[in-house]
Amino acid sequence: MDINPGDLLPHRSPFLFVDELHELKPGESAIAEWRLTGQEDFFAGHFPGRPTLPGVLMVEALAQVGACGILAVPEMQEKLPLFGGVEKVRFRRQVVPGETLRLEVELTSLRSRSGKGTGKAFVGDELACSAELLFMLVDR
């Protein structure tokens, strides 16, 4: 099941970090991928000679996948999921141009004004990043 993330998310290029949604269980979980081509602008400055995906962008990509899981719930479609907090973030490996991140988010709590989830980003079978995410839901 490939779903266009742009059909759910309000994000657009250059700040849409989800290329494809592969699995979506509204209000429960989502699995997606982000293919890093090396042409992304941030690689030029982070770091010259050793391009590395900034960790904060990995966390943002996880949040976007979580937002897909939230916005797929019919009563949440008019909401805008914003960061309310990030906890227990761990970076386990560098991510470089040419790699594909598999982004997995499980929503652990969802209410009318907030939600929580746990996210993991993988390159192949290697864990690159994990985080606990808190979403605040506001009207668009």
Active site residue 22: no
Distances (CA, A) of 123 to 1, 23, 92, 129: 20, 17, 11, 10
* 27 Cβ neighbours under 8 A, 6+ residues apart: 69, 70, 72, 73, 76, 107, 110
Catalytic residue among 11, 22, 46, 102: 46
Respond yes or no on whether the N-terminal peptide bond of residue 74 is cis (omega within 30° of 0). no
Which residues are designated catalytic?
A: 46
